[in-house]
Chains A and B, each alone.
Chain A
Amino acid sequence: MSTILNFTGTLLKNLVSKPVTKNYPEEPAVYPERSRGHIVIDVDQCISCGLCVRSCPPRCIKVDKNEGTWTINRFDCIACGYCASKCPKKCLSLVPGYQKPGRSKAAVTYKKSAEVMEAERKRAEEMAQRKAAAVKAAREKKAAAQTGGQAAGAAAQVQAAQAQAAAPVKAPSENQ
């Protein structure tokens, strides 16, 4: 059973109905809420841990801890969102809006604000001081124990002191 011209009805309907396409760019595109457009960063929250750098499949992120910068090459980014799922501070998110075309694969850098940098520097200094103090205390204790001649007990004490000293040393390096 075959017919001809059975598309005519659809054709006529299409002729008189409104176009399905939009007059982009005059009429802006509407993206759904979940649209994976581009990555945004709340850079002041970033602790420069580098987890996003290591998890990004095309390796398009760079992080400089000393400068307090977070750099992304948006032309290499595949908008997968893996970095956002890995970030411990949840400061990365994928939002709608695609990357505009460009002439070169330029990277964009985000820098932490001066106040945040200053606060971080102070915190680091404080940590360093505390660490130095702890090391000093441990050394003094060790010296005291040696002069006391109680080698076995002292060793245990030293170990405890070192463990104490080690704990705050590790924390700042994770937090920065």
Chain B
Amino acid sequence: MGKVSVVPFGPQHPVLPEPIHLDLVLEDEKVIEAVPSIGFVHRGLESLIVKKDYNEMVYVAERTCGICSFGHGMGYVEAVEKIMNVEIPARARYLRTIWMELSRMHSHLLWLGLLADAFGYESLFYHCWRIREQVLDMIEESTGGRVIFSVNKVGGVMKDIDAQMLGRFVEKLGDVEEQICAIRKNFLGDRTVQMRLCGVGVLTKKQAHDLGCAGPFGRASGIATDMRIRGYGAYADLDFEPIIRTDGDSYARCACRIDELLQSIDLIRQAAAKIPAGDLSVPVKGNPDGEYFMRIEQPRGEAVYYVKGSGKPYLNRLRIRTPTFANLAGLCETLKGADYADVPILVLTIDPCISCTER
């Protein structure tokens, strides 16, 4: 048995875009335990709910995260709409779905780039972000912001994507799809990539289930958890199956996310073909009275929004549970027994978003 030593990892680390700190207990080159600590970027967003009225809060909720911001805004407004029994127009539901999928694409492409960077494939990293830029351009053109969309409001959406713009997007997504298929080969077919990812950080289905893993991290271990199946937004009208892999290693997580990119393009195509004409929003009167638990599928997994109001413009409580929070336990499990050199990749494979975990 070798000597046991503790190596601190993060909160500032070259491969980590996010501030998480791990105490890695090492025995020679093997990690025997990882002790996480978070709390470096807590912003107290949830407590703002008592100071901002429920309409203003949409903009605060959106700023929970810089990558999956649209989903946070959407989860929050849908929860408020459910409390107030507001039925939003079908067009607004479709638009939200399209934006949600664009947001998933830009998040997954960002992650793929970071993963390529983590295993030392810099040119692939730049290439992924180059593809992502086209998605960002579409988002900017339709919403006016590149990462913060600010198009949701209680009762619907504020901006439209007209038929012409939508047609252009679908056409452009055809291009993007080709490029994604090309990098799919680079990621999944390349031997150097396989050597870094295959069999690294295996999490069995049972472990993933017991630890409550969410999103692509859980799906790569064979758990069919995808909140879109619940049919919020326009997902009920669209045809799709959760993408599942059973190997549970880093390679499976990467494959899951790449396939989800193609799935998102398909979903946008379906939505663009089915989107009905009509209003963008309905007028909303009164204040929310009651509580609701909204579950949506963010790029990183299931996010939960609990909203409680008591008939006043200022709500009583907002609670956001982000997918990374659920996946931290799984991460620590995969780190056990891993090589020290694989730690950066393993941390990345859960697609950590610590800032939104801490809200």
Contact = CB atoms under 8 A, between A and B. Distances in A.
Contact of B144 (A11, A34, A85): A34
B164 interface: no
Interface of B: 52, 55-56, 59-60, 63, 123-124, 127, 130, 133, 140-145, 148, 150, 158-159, 182, 185-186, 189-192, 194
B56 A82 contact: yes
A70 B85 CA distance: 38
A4 B191 contact: yes
A36 B124 contact: no
Which DSSP category, helix, strand, loop or mixed, fits chain B's interface? helix
A6 B56 contact: no
A53 to B, nearest CB: 12
B164 to A, nearest CB: 13
Which DSSP category, helix, strand, loop or mixed, fits chain A's interface? loop
B60 to A, nearest CB: 6
B59 A78 contact: yes
Contacts of A71: none
Given A11-B123, A57-B59, 19 more contacts: A1-B189, A3-B189, A3-B191, A7-B123, A7-B124, A7-B186, A10-B127, A31-B140, A32-B140, A32-B144, A34-B140, A34-B141, A35-B140, A35-B144, A36-B144, A79-B150, A81-B150, A82-B56, A82-B59
B194 A2 contact: yes
A80 interface: yes
A15 to B, nearest CB: 10
B59 A6 contact: no
A126 B358 CA distance: 57
A68 to B, nearest CB: 27
Interface in A82-109: 82, 85, 94
A14 interface: yes
Contacts of B130: 20
A55 interface: yes
The 7 closest A-B pairs by CB, nearest first: A34-B144, A36-B144, A2-B191, A32-B141, A80-B59, A57-B56, A57-B59
B182 A34 contact: no
A31 B144 CA distance: 9
Nearest to A86: B55
